[in-house]
A and B are shown apart, each in its own frame.
Chain A
Amino acid sequence: MEERHMEKKGGRESKGVMVFVEIQDHERVLEGARELLTKGRGLADRLGEKVYAVVLALEAEKYLADVKNYGPDFILYMSHNDLKHYNSEIFPELFTGLIKEYNPSILLIPSTEAGSDLAPRLSQRFHTGLTAHCTGLDIIDSDEHGEGLLLMKRPAFSGNMVASIICPESRPQIATVQPGVFEKAERTGQHADVIELAYSFDTSSLRVVNCEAPRRWDRCTVPLEQADVVVAGGRGLGAKCNFDRLFELSQMLGGEVGATRVPVFNGWCGLERMIGQTGKTVKPRLYMGFGISGQIQHTTSIVDAEIIVSVNADPGAPIFDISDYVIQEDAARFLEALIERLKKEKLTFACGM
Chain B
Amino acid sequence: MDLSLTKTQKMVQKHIRKFSREVLAEWSLYLDREAKPLPGDIVTAMGNLNIWGIQAPRHFGGADLDTVSYAIVIEEISRVSASIGLGVTVHNSVCLAPLLKFGTEDQKERLAYDLSAGRKIGGFTVTEPNAGSDAGGVQTTASDDGDAYILNGQKAFVTNGGVGDVFLVAAVFDAARKSRGIGIFIVEKGMRGFSVGKIEDMMGMRGNMVSELILDNVRVPKTNVLGRPEDGFKISMQTLDMGRIGIAAQALGIGMAAYEAAALYATERKQFNKPIGTFQGVSFKLAEMKTKLEAARLLVYKAACNKDNGLPYTTEAAMCKYYAPGAALDVCQEALQIFGGYGYVKELPVERYYRDVKITQIYEGTSEVMKIIIGNAILKEFSKL
Contact = CB atoms under 8 A, between A and B. Distances in A.
B contact face: mostly helix, strand, loop, or mixed: helix
B265 to A, nearest CB: 8
A316 interface: yes
A260 B264 CA distance: 25
Interface string A305-343: 000000000011000000000000000000000000000
Contacts of A316: 264, 268
Contacts of B264: 316
Interface range on chain B (Cβ under 8 Å from partner) = under 10
A161 B268 CA distance: 26
A297 to B, nearest CB: 18
Nearest to B264: A316
A316 B264 CA distance: 9
Interface string B59-74: 0000000000000000
Nearest to B267: A316
Nearest to A315: B268
Contacts of B269: 315
Nearest to B347: A313
A316 B269 CA distance: 10
Interface in A143-198: none
B266 to A, nearest CB: 12
A100 to B, nearest CB: 50
Interface string A16-59: 00000000000000000000000000000000000000000000
Interface in A203-244: none
Interface string B268-303: 110000000000000000000000000000000000
A316 B260 CA distance: 13
Nearest to A330: B347
A315 B348 CA distance: 12
A316 B268 CA distance: 7
Nearest to A316: B268
Contacts of B268: 315-316
Interface string A248-263: 0000000000000000
A316 B270 CA distance: 13
Nearest to B265: A315
Interface string B22-52: 0000000000000000000000000000000
Nearest to A313: B347
A316 B275 CA distance: 13
Interface in B293-332: none
Interface in B249-269: 264, 268-269
Interface string A96-112: 00000000000000000
A150 to B, nearest CB: 42
Contacts of A315: 268-269
A315 B269 CA distance: 9
B321 to A, nearest CB: 34
A182 to B, nearest CB: 38
A315 B264 CA distance: 10
Interface string A284-316: 000000000000000000000000000000011
A215 to B, nearest CB: 33
A310 to B, nearest CB: 15
B191 to A, nearest CB: 44
Interface in B68-94: none
B14 to A, nearest CB: 20
A262 to B, nearest CB: 13
A316 B267 CA distance: 10
A5 B119 CA distance: 59
A316 to B, nearest CB: 6
Interface of A: 315-316
Interface of B: 264, 268-269
Closest 4 interchain pairs by CB? A315-B268, A316-B268, A316-B264, A315-B269
4 contacts: A315-B268, A315-B269, A316-B264, A316-B268
